[in-house]
Structure 1
Amino acid sequence: MSTGVITITDTEFETEVLKSEQPVLLYFWASWCGPCKLMTMTVNNAANTYGDRLKVVKMEVDPNPTTVKQYQIEGVPAFRIVQDGQLLAATEGAIGKDKLFNFIDSHLN
């Protein structure tokens, strides 16, 4: 399985997220978002740490309005955990590594 962050768009969402055999951590970001830039290393670290049991994907909000609307993204950075096509958890705002890992751990089987 992949241990890196996968960049996706609205057109790839169904295949990469909804049809994924693994749970997915969705990371929504924007190029103009300062806190998003701070989250890059943490998200990469999560992908490397959990890559054997969690797919980590990132999606830029501005060019992907369909998924942003569907997952009710109101601010960035934002995180969603999806498994078997179902939304399991959501959080928004910049968070530290420990909080992100706790968020992931509490929703992985």
Structure 2
Amino acid sequence: MHEVLAFLAALRDVHPDMARYGLNGGCFRVYLLLKQAFPGAEPWYDSDHVLTKIGDHFYDIRGQVEPISAVGAEYLRMDPLCFNRAYGWDQPALNTDLQGVRHG
């Protein structure tokens, strides 16, 4: 557990906005980084936020956390079929308003 907490502390120190990013769209990418360092890491999702389970403990960019959902949903192990969509959570949505777009 100490190694995971040290890893997350170092990650937060990379940039002043890292903690905010890890809680606002970058939570899946935090899992991916943890998975690289701790191969047994598993992503758990509550329809709003990804936690990383390593052993018997849950983590996010803040450190060790309890799997209590802020949206009132249950955390479930994330299905790998959802991964492709999760890569874009930190990206702005595409603008589908074509008004003012020149064609040709």
TM-score by length of 1: 0.32
Greater fraction strand: 1
- Larger RCO of the pair (alpha carbons < 8 Å, separation 6+): 1
TM-score by length of 2: 0.33
Q: State the structure with more CA Rg.
A: 2
